[in-house]
Amino acid sequence: MKFLDLCKVYIRSGAGGNGCISFRREKFIEYGGPDGGDGGKGGDVWVEAVDGLNTLIDFRYQQHWFARNGQGGMGRNRTGKDGDDIILRVPVGTEILEEDEETVVADLTELGQRVLLAKGGNGGWGNLHFKTSTNQAPRRSNPGQEAVERTLWLRLKLIADVGLVGLPNAGKSTFLAATSNARPKIADYPFTTLHPNLGVVGIDGGEFVVADIPGLIEGAHEGRGLGDLFLGHIERSAVLLHLIDGTSGTLIEDYQTIVSELEAYGAGLADKPRVTVLNKIDALDEEERTFLRDELEAAGARDVMLMSGASGEGVQEVLRALRPHVVKLRKIEADALRGADPEEDGTWTP
């Protein structure tokens, strides 16, 4: 299945049916009076977050979503049939944006969440509604309300607890494969990962979701390499895991490149908690490990950890360092749902 995280759709609700002008005509009934029915209501356009989807590829092949119009009213006081609603089923984490790609219409972050995008038009009144004591044979009816048309953008931001960042070939996919059942492509050339991958990681009886995104390079915010198109998938994460290739000859430059790209992207990524890890230490001796860690900490990195995704050394310690950040964010979200103040509730401890 191809991965697609941004697409444009054209939606239109159903127009309401027109009211009917009709008079009762039966044998032996001289003055039957008006019996025109009302028009049916047009269908609505809804969007719903459903389970089992992690891409918007379905909207690549169907961009136009039109609800049915309401049926017109009929004689004998018969109301027209309502138009059927239409539902856009999207993955959890999808944002609905206006045509300007900036104004957020809705953000579907919970399974089963539904939002009305375009309301169907009401049906028009038939002439029966206009009958009065002084106008007992009205020849007047209302047209149905017009349909609502909108052009919208759907943008998918995957729901992940931990976001992996680093230069190409920093070992992100190897780490994800070593800690979860995910099987991302792994090779010895840059940009092996072309789209985000998700993996569920377990540690000390708990689980959290890790997102591996394509590697960043200097100038990614200007569109170099694969650009920063995929950074949106880690905006919702609780913590970032910054992997640095310990065998690189430009260690400090690699670290500063990623930090600069996160700051240039914005959206609060530079302010998120970040765990910095010196990866591929299986190729380094003890003296080299200590020297490189000291170099990174002197460059501004905090509490640099050592790890080898290939051999598994230090992996469990890194997962344990990530878990408190995930637990804390989940606690804050749970407090927000029940209306508690996370600052006043001091029951949580990492």
Is 282 labelled a binding residue? yes
Residue 43, SS3 per DSSP: coil
Judge whether 92 and 159 are in contact, CB under 8 Å: yes
Is 170 labelled a binding residue? yes
Q: What is the pLDDT of residue 120?
A: 96
Pairing assessment for the beta strands 94-97 and 104-108 based on DSSP bridges? antiparallel
Assign 345 a pLDDT band (cuts: 50, 70, 90).
Answer: very low
pLDDT tens, position by position, 135-158 = 999 999 999 999 999 999 999 988
Judge whether 37 and 77 are in contact, CB under 8 Å: yes
pLDDT over 90 at 242, yes or no: yes
Assign 347 a pLDDT band (cuts: 50, 70, 90).
Answer: very low
pLDDT tens, position by position, 274-330 = 999 999 999 889 999 999 999 999 988 888 999 998 888 999 999 999 999 999 888
pLDDT tens, position by position, 189-208 = 667 777 788 888 998 888 89
Is 19 labelled a binding residue? no
Is 192 labelled a binding residue? yes
The helix (run of H) or strand (run of E) holding residue 175 is: helix 172-179
Is 294 labelled a binding residue? no
Cα–Cα distance measured from residue 124 to residue 141, given in angstroms and rounded to the nearest whole number: 7
Q: Which of 39-48, 96-105, 263-272 has the lowest mean pLDDT?
A: 263-272
Is 75 labelled a binding residue? no
Is 213 labelled a binding residue? yes
Is 3 labelled a binding residue? no
The CATH topology of domain 162-338 is Rossmann fold (3.40.50)
Share of the chain above pLDDT 90, in %: 54
Judge whether 306 and 296 are in contact, CB under 8 Å: no
CATH class as words, domain 1-156: mainly beta
Of residues 320 and 337, which shows the higher confidence score? 320
Is 342 labelled a binding residue? no
The residues spanned by each domain of the chain are: 1-156, 162-338
Q: What is the pLDDT of residue 30?
A: 81
Is 215 labelled a binding residue? yes
Is 269 labelled a binding residue? no
Is 280 labelled a binding residue? yes
Is 51 labelled a binding residue? no
DSSP string covering 284-345: S-HHHHHHHHHHHHHTT--S-EE--TTT-TTHHHHHHHHHHHHHHHHHHHHHHHHT--TTT-
Highest mean pLDDT: which range of 26-30, 176-180, 187-191? 176-180
Is 197 labelled a binding residue? no
Is 137 labelled a binding residue? no
pLDDT tens, position by position, 60-92 = 899 999 999 999 999 999 999 999 999 999 999
Is 37 labelled a binding residue? no
pLDDT over 60 at 110, yes or no: yes
| Number of alpha carbons in the 13 Å side-chain half-sphere of residue 162 | 30
Q: What is the pLDDT of residue 215?
A: 82
* Average pLDDT of span 30-57: 92
Is 172 labelled a binding residue? yes
Is 103 labelled a binding residue? no
Is 191 labelled a binding residue? yes
Is 175 labelled a binding residue? no
* Average pLDDT of span 231-259: 90
Q: What is the pLDDT of residue 223?
A: 67
Is 281 labelled a binding residue? yes
Pairing assessment for the beta strands 6-12 and 149-156 based on DSSP bridges? antiparallel
Is 143 labelled a binding residue? no
* Average pLDDT of span 182-193: 73
